């Protein structure tokens, strides 16, 4: 099967997806040890053309993950350390009057890169945050009436610290919705930690990391992923899940339609990573927590019960029946 | 061990043989044993073959049953087959044989004669036991359970023989059964080594195995020790009930027989010796009359397949004994019996009894034969009896026989020898003008020692041109050799052929004088005919060659010397008034109520029909749900428009079945999670896990991939896989669960629930 009349990605594209994914995975796990699931989700989000929010306590390797991914791709990488005094123009760029040319020149901000690593995004002022988030969604920047498109691929990997909340500006739900997925790193296993102490103490593993792919390849991959077949049953399943999240009493705010879209895109990438050209409910289930949990607002009962939205999503997955082919 | 399980099959067959072999002690002939060995071998061979051919245990059992039962029929009633297949005639024949078998075991003490009916049903039972043992031991690999049918086989003997069975009868089958257990257990142990359920201890797996084995051995030894102890102690301390008999058959015990009683068979088989040479005394008596009258125990008119049996009468016969002939023709005497050990309900007394005086038990008098039946054996009793001695002239002029105590059986000739009897009878009675002369001629003919010879040894039974044994009467005609039973039977049949009602009387001859009384021994047992003459009643004749004491009236015109002819000793009295429950026979309440109809006629009476139809309804009702499930599945399959639909239907059926078996996948489970759950909880082996993976892969493709990618081959494979998975999962469940899942499948139940819901909704709407 070399060509497909239904306009679906070719077997060659799928192979490419697999190959690139395997290479990325092999490279990244050299640095991020003992966290294969996190690495895999990261790659999935990259392939699905989404943005990633990494949320965890300090020192577990959030930034390291982002930087590792950035290094593994031969593409432009920018890193922004968010602080309260960071300005929107630092992100988007600014027009400066050039004395010699006697005209305004646009100097691109930190956002003009293939991979943008935003550290501690909740430390910036809401104004700055929204500047970033708008460009994330629109994939373009408008400064002084001129629109500048961003390069593809474009992935923002923002980190956030949920513990030290003093003097921070937590992302509003509406803005969190822009991130395709949120992942937590979690502590490494004792064995992984030991290995890390052995290998990382001398020098940073990042130094020896070589890029295994480039921007053009990633673009092809992202394109290929969008052609993965999602049957009516699977789409129905996503709709069922999203709808149920809006009616359940455990949540104050359910998932948005964008959440459904993101879930489908992520599931497609997951299917492609698994070497399939069609999505199955397992893909959806695998990513549901990562894709949905950060967009939902728990009801007061859920908060009182100290349950997280991730647990609520897991419950939803248990309750919503997987639709069969005939319906 | 291979699937065929050679060793265990052989052991099962041997154990079955060993368990049924003791049955030979219940019958006089071992002829059935050859057929039994054949069917046991057949059951084993068929089992071996089928286990090699199919994995389905039920199919194996079913085919085994059909083939082995066919084998039994082919061995026994092949003559009724058409084109090698059983016909309606076979069923009729089986029914006849069944009745025969039933009568044989009900009428005979062990060892019983081996009639054809008994052989057929005995071989059938052996076949059934063989199949069940083989199925349990080899097909289901549960030899422990096979002990039950083996025990059943053994109990047939143990429960029916009067004496204690030989130890080897028990030891041999049990030993074989234990070897069977051992073989299977060893095979199971051999399989265990591939999996390790427990953590390996510090000393390594080898020492663990040794420890486990040692503890198992110790446990088994303890159990065995306790079992042996119990086997010794329990019989020693428990009270032994008198032996009870299956269906009251074989050597019926009426409970009263103490030690030392003498039983007398209710059945007289002409093929074998009735007469025992046992000299043990039965009773002593003194009589006021001449000691020439034999003591009758009972009489019977029913002759069937070479045997005299006590037939049960329905409405035939009078309500009470018919009056005796007039006083002029008879004299009455009193007989006093002591030291009587004849087993109840029988009682010996000369015929006809006028008044019995029996103390210590209740008794009844048969209205037709005037047999006295007591509830319990009494040591001594007194009877007033008559000696009837009509004159030959009166007998010559007796009218045609007509009395309520003449039964239809009294004139019935056996079908298999009827022609011979008529020819023979006509020849013997040629020239005689009346019934009396004919009877006398028959007796004279049979008593002629130049023609007939008295012998307890009948020799080989002669055979007809087809090589089959002749019936006893024809055989007697051929060999001219016999003892009282043969002579009496011949006279009865020859008389019946002339239209004279005749019946068989069984009892003892007068015995030997010892001191002041006569002693009757068991070896004095005798049989003689009674012929009916109008006006004189039933009269005794004595056709046995060489036997003394034919009645005076039977010797008219015959020059045979009479020895000890009846002489009137003068003490003619019915004045003696014995004490106790004295009761004239004529007023006796007769209790001959049982009937002789075929068992199925009785069985198919009203209430049984109701029960039968109720059972039928219950059976149908039980199968309603499985049938519904099966039908629904097929209808849905038929209606499936696309391959996807078909695949979904198969999957839904599997899921519902697994649900019933207790394998529930959570509602939110995807195919893959459900599959993993089924594989773990259903204990699927590698093959079936692969099959299930194939199924879910096909299903996934059908559901989530593009529709055109599902191929018909995949659908077919899915169908096959699902069937094998169903079977495999079923096997791992408890039988109760399996039974429930079969009888109450959700698939079928939900259909009816749907029907009910729709109906109630419609009703509600109408209201």
Backbone dihedral angles phi then psi of residue B246, each to the nearest 5 degrees: -60, 130
Provide the domain count of chain B: 3
CA–CA separation, B187 and A239 (whole Å):
55
Q: Establish if A229 touches chain B: CB-CB under 8 angstroms.
A: yes
Chain A partners within 8 Å of B670 (Cβ): 280-282, 285, 322
Contact between residue A46 and residue A85 where contact means Cβ atoms under 8 Å apart: no
Between A16 and B261, residue with greater pLDDT: A16
Average pLDDT rounded to a whole number, residues A142-155 = 85
Closest chain A residue to B697 measured between Cα atoms? A280
Domain residue ranges in chain A: 229-322
**Cis peptide before B111, with omega less than 30 degrees from 0?**
yes
Q: Do the domain assignments include residue B706?
A: yes
Q: Establish if A326 touches chain B: CB-CB under 8 angstroms.
A: yes
Q: Which CATH architecture has domain A229-322?
A: Orthogonal Bundle (1.10)
Residue among A279, A324, A327 with most chain B CBs within 10 A, to mutate: A324
Cα B679 from chain centroid (whole Å): 50
CA–CA separation, B3 and B20 (whole Å):
27
Q: Are residues B99 and B14 in the same domain?
A: yes
DSSP-assigned beta bridge partners for residue B303: B308
Chain B partners within 8 Å of A248 (Cβ): none
Chain B partners within 8 Å of A233 (Cβ): 703-704
Q: Establish if A282 touches chain B: CB-CB under 8 angstroms.
A: yes
What ipTM was assigned to the predicted interfaces of this complex?
0.79
pLDDT range class, residue A77, cuts 50, 70, 90? confident
Looking at every residue in chain A, the average pLDDT score rounds to 84
Question: What pLDDT does A181 receive?
Answer: 92
Chain B partners within 8 Å of A321 (Cβ): 667-668
Closest chain A residue to B702 measured between Cα atoms? A325
With an 8 Å Cβ cutoff, are A234 and B672 in contact? no
Q: Establish if A280 touches chain B: CB-CB under 8 angstroms.
A: yes
Q: Do the domain assignments include residue B546?
A: yes
Shortest Cα distance, chain B CAs vs residue A325, angstroms: 4
Q: Are residues B17 and B68 in the same domain?
A: yes
With an 8 Å Cβ cutoff, are B671 and A281 in contact? yes
Q: Do the domain assignments include residue B344?
A: yes
The interface residues of chain A toward chain B in range 234-253, judged by CB-CB distance below 8 A, are 234
Q: Are residues B351 and B389 in the same domain?
A: yes
CA–CA separation, B332 and B354 (whole Å):
8
Average pLDDT rounded to a whole number, residues A262-269 = 93
Provide the token pair at B128. Answer: 């059934």
Cα B191 from chain centroid (whole Å): 44
With an 8 Å Cβ cutoff, are B706 and A278 in contact? yes
Shortest Cα distance, chain B CAs vs residue A138, angstroms: 32
pLDDT digits (tens, 9 = 90+) for B43-96: 999 988 888 888 788 888 888 999 998 888 888 888 888 888 888 888 888 888
Cα B737 from chain centroid (whole Å): 36
With an 8 Å Cβ cutoff, are A280 and B704 in contact? yes
Q: Is B579 exposed, middle or buried (0-12, 13-18, 19+ CB in 10 A)?
A: exposed
With an 8 Å Cβ cutoff, are A233 and B673 in contact? no
Contact between residue A101 and residue A86 where contact means Cβ atoms under 8 Å apart: no
Provide the token pair at A142. Answer: 């408008």
pLDDT digits (tens, 9 = 90+) for A206-255: 777 888 888 888 898 898 888 888 888 899 999 999 999 999 888 888 88
Question: What pLDDT does A268 receive?
Answer: 93
CA–CA separation, B489 and B269 (whole Å):
11
Q: Do the domain assignments include residue B213?
A: no
With an 8 Å Cβ cutoff, are B706 and A6 in contact? yes
Q: Do the domain assignments include residue B217?
A: no
CA–CA separation, A303 and A301 (whole Å):
5
Q: Establish if A167 touches chain B: CB-CB under 8 angstroms.
A: no
Shortest Cα distance, chain A CAs vs residue B710, angstroms: 12
Question: What pLDDT does A260 receive?
Answer: 92
Q: Are residues B305 and B375 in the same domain?
A: yes
CB-based contacts of B541, cutoff 8 Å, min separation 6: B439, B443, B491, B528, B529, B530, B531, B550, B551, B554
CB-based contacts of B688, cutoff 8 Å, min separation 6: B682, B724, B725, B728, B729
Q: Are strands A77-81 and A115-119 parallel, antiparallel or unpaired?
A: parallel
- Look up the CATH number of the domain holding residue B389: 3.10.620.30
Reference B77, options B101, B112, B57; nearest CA is B101
Shortest Cα distance, chain A CAs vs residue B40, angstroms: 54
Q: Do the domain assignments include residue B205?
A: no
Chain B partners within 8 Å of A6 (Cβ): 706
Q: Are residues B518 and B649 in the same domain?
A: no
With an 8 Å Cβ cutoff, are A322 and B705 in contact? no
Backbone dihedral angles phi then psi of residue A277, each to the nearest 5 degrees: -100, 15
Shortest Cα distance, chain A CAs vs residue B215, angstroms: 41
Residue span of the structural domain in which B760 resides? 620-766
- Look up the CATH number of the domain holding residue B662: 1.20.120
Chain A partners within 8 Å of B705 (Cβ): 229, 231, 277-278
Say whether B46 sits in a helix, a strand or coil: helix
Chain A partners within 8 Å of B666 (Cβ): 318
With an 8 Å Cβ cutoff, are A281 and B648 in contact? no
Sites in chain B below the pLDDT cut of 50: 1, 3, 193-204, 242-263, 270-273, 559-597
Question: What pLDDT does B271 receive?
Answer: 45
Q: Do the domain assignments include residue B16?
A: yes
With an 8 Å Cβ cutoff, are B667 and A325 in contact? no
H/E segment holding residue B284: strand B281-287
pLDDT digits (tens, 9 = 90+) for B173-198: 888 888 888 888 777 766 654 444 44
The interface residues of chain A toward chain B in range 250-279, judged by CB-CB distance below 8 A, are 277-279
Residue among B704, B706, B707, B710 with most chain A CBs within 10 A, to mutate: B704
CA–CA separation, B179 and B15 (whole Å):
10
Question: What pLDDT does B580 receive?
Answer: 38
Q: Establish if A327 touches chain B: CB-CB under 8 angstroms.
A: no
Q: Are residues B568 and B645 in the same domain?
A: no
Q: Establish if A20 touches chain B: CB-CB under 8 angstroms.
A: no
Q: Are residues B589 and B658 in the same domain?
A: no
Cα–Cα distances in angstroms (integers) from residue B4 to residues B15, B53, B60, B134, B307, in the given order:
18, 9, 11, 12, 48
Shortest Cα distance, chain B CAs vs residue A192, angstroms: 27
Residues of B with CB under 8 A from a CB of A: 644-645, 647-648, 651-652, 666-673, 699-700, 702-706
Question: What pLDDT does A243 receive?
Answer: 92
Q: Are residues B543 and B627 in the same domain?
A: no
With an 8 Å Cβ cutoff, are B704 and A320 in contact? no
Q: Do the domain assignments include residue B202?
A: no
**Cis peptide before A5, with omega less than 30 degrees from 0?**
no
For B262-294, give one letter per residue: b (16+ CB within 10 A) or e.
bbbbbbbbbbbebbeeeeebbbbbebbbbbbbb
B537 dihedral zone (left: phi>0; alpha: psi -120 to 50; beta): left
Q: Are residues B487 and B366 in the same domain?
A: yes
Q: Are residues B423 and B511 in the same domain?
A: yes
With an 8 Å Cβ cutoff, are A281 and B702 in contact? no
Q: Are residues B590 and B637 in the same domain?
A: no
Q: Are residues B424 and B558 in the same domain?
A: yes
Question: What pLDDT does A45 receive?
Answer: 92
């Amino acid at each position: 099967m070399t060509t497909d009349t239904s306009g679906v990605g070719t077997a060659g594209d799928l192979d490419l997806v697999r190959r690139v994914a395997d290479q990325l995975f092999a490279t990244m796990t050299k640095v991020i040890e003992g966290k294969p699931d996190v690495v895999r989700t990261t790659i999935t989000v990259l392939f699905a053309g989404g943005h990633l929010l990494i949320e965890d306590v300090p020192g577990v390797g959030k930034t390291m993950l982002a930087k590792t991914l950035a290094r593994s791709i031969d593409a432009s990488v920018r890193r922004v350390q968010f602080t309260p005094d960071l300005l929107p123009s630092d992100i988007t760029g600014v027009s400066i009057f050039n004395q010699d040319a006697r005209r305004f020149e646009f100097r691109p901000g930190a956002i003009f890169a293939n991979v943008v690593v935003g550290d501690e995004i909740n430390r910036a002022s809401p104004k700055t945050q929204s500047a970033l988030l708008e460009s994330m969604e629109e994939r373009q920047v408008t400064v002084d009436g001129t629109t500048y498109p961003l390069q593809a691929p474009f992935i923002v990997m923002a980190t956030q610290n949920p513990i030290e909340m003093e003097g921070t500006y937590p992302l509003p739900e509406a803005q969190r919705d822009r991130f395709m997925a949120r992942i937590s790193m979690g502590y490494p296993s004792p064995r992984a930690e030991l290995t890390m102490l052995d290998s990382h103490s001398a020098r940073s593993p990042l130094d020896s990391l070589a890029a295994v792919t480039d921007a053009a390849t990633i673009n092809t991959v992202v394109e290929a992923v969008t052609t993965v077949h999602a049957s009516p049953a699977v789409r129905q399943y996503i709709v069922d899940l999203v709808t149920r999240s809006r009616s359940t009493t455990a949540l104050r705010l359910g998932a948005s339609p964008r959440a459904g879209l993101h879930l489908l895109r992520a599931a497609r990438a997951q299917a492609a990573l698994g070497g399939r050209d069609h999505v199955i409910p397992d893909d959806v289930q695998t990513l549901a927590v990562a894709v949905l949990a950060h967009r939902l607002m728990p009801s007061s009962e859920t908060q009182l019960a100290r349950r997280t939205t991730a647990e609520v999503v897991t419950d939803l997955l248990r309750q919503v029946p997987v639709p069969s082919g005939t319906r | 061990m291979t699937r065929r399980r050679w060793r265990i099959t052989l052991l099962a067959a041997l154990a079955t043989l060993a368990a049924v072999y003791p049955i030979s002690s219940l019958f006089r002939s071992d002829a059935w044993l050859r057929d039994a060995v054949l069917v046991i071998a057949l059951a084993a061979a068929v089992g071996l073959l089928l286990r090699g051919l199919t994995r389905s245990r039920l199919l194996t059992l079913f085919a085994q049953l059909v083939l082995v039962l066919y084998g039994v029929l082919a061995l026994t009633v092949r003559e009724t087959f058409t084109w090698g297949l059983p016909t309606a005639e076979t069923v009729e024949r089986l029914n006849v044989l069944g009745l025969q078998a039933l009568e044989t075991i009900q009428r005979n003490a062990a060892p019983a004669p081996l009639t054809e009916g008994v052989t057929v049903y005995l071989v059938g039972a052996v076949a059934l036991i063989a199949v069940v043992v083989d199925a349990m031991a080899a097909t289901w690999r549960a030899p422990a359970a096979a002990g039950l049918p083996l025990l059943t086989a053994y109990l047939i003997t143990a429960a029916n023989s009067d004496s204690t069975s030989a130890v080897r009868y028990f030891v041999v089958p049990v030993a074989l059964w234990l070897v069977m257990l051992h073989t299977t257990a060893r095979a199971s142990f051999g399989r265990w080594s591939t999996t390790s359920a427990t953590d390996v201890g510090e000393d390594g797996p080898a020492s663990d195995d040794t420890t486990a084995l040692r503890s198992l051995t110790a446990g088994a030894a303890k159990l065995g020790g306790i079992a042996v102890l119990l086997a010794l102690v329990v019989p020693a301390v428990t009270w032994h009930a008198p032996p009870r008999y299956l269906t009251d058959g074989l050597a019926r015990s009426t409970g009263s027989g103490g030690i030392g009683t003498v039983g007398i068979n209710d059945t007289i088989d002409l093929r074998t010796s009735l007469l025992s040479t046992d000299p043990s005394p039965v009773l002593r008596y003194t009589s006021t009359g001449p000691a020439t009258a034999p003591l009758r125990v009972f009489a019977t008119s029913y002759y069937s397949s070479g045997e005299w049996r006590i037939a049960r009468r329905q409405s035939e016969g009078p309500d009470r004994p018919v009056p005796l002939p007039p006083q002029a023709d008879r004299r009455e005497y009193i007989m006093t019996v002591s030291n009587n050990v004849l087993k109840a309900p029988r009682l010996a007394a000369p015929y006809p009894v006028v008044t019995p005086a029996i103390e210590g038990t209740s008794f009844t008098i048969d209205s037709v034969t005037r047999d006295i039946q007591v509830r319990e054996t009494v040591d001594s009793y007194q009877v007033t009896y008559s000696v009837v001695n009509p004159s030959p002239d009166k007998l010559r002029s007796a009218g045609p026989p007509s009395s309520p105590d003449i039964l239809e059986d009294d004139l019935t000739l056996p079908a298999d020898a009827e022609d011979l009897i008529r020819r023979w009878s006509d020849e013997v009675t040629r020239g005689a003008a009346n019934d009396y002369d004919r009877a006398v001629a028959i007796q004279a003919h049979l008593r002629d020692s130049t023609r007939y010879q008295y012998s307890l040894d009948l020799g080989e039974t002669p055979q007809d041109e087809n090589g089959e044994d002749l019936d006893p009467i024809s055989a007697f005609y051929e060999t001219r050799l016999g003892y009282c039973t043969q002579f009496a039977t011949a006279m009865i049949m020859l008389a019946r052929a002339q239209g004279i009602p005749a019946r068989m009387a069984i009892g003892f001859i007068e015995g030997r004088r010892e001191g002041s009384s006569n002693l009757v021994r068991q070896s004095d047992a005798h049989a003689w005919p009674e012929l009916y003459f109008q006006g004189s009643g039933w009269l005794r004749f004595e056709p046995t060659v060489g036997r003394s004491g034919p009645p005076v009236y039977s010797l008219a015109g015959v020059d045979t010397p009479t020895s000890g002819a009846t002489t009137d000793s003068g003490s003619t009295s019915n004045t003696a008034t014995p004490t106790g429950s004295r009761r004239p026979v004529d007023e006796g309440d007769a209790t001959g109520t049982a009937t002789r109809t075929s068992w199925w006629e009785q069985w198919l009476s009203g209430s049984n029909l109701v029960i039968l139809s109720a059972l039928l309804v219950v059976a149908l009702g039980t199968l309603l749900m499985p049938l519904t499930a099966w039908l629904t599945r097929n209808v849905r399959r038929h209606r499936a428009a696309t391959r996807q639909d078909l695949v979904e239907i198969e999957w839904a059926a599997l899921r519902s079945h697994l649900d019933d078996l207790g394998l529930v996948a959570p509602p939110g489970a995807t195919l893959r999670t459900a599959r993993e759950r089924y594989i773990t909880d259903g204990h699927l082996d590698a093959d079936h896990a692969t099959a299930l993976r194939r199924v879910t892969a096909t299903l996934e493709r059908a559901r989530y991939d593009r529709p055109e990618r599902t191929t018909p081959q995949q659908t077919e494979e899915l169908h096959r896989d699902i069937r094998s998975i169903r079977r495999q999962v079923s096997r791992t469940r408890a039988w109760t669960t399996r039974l429930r899942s079969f009888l109450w499948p959700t698939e079928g139940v939900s259909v009816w629930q749907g029907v009910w819901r729709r109906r109630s909704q419609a009703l509600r709407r109408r209201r």
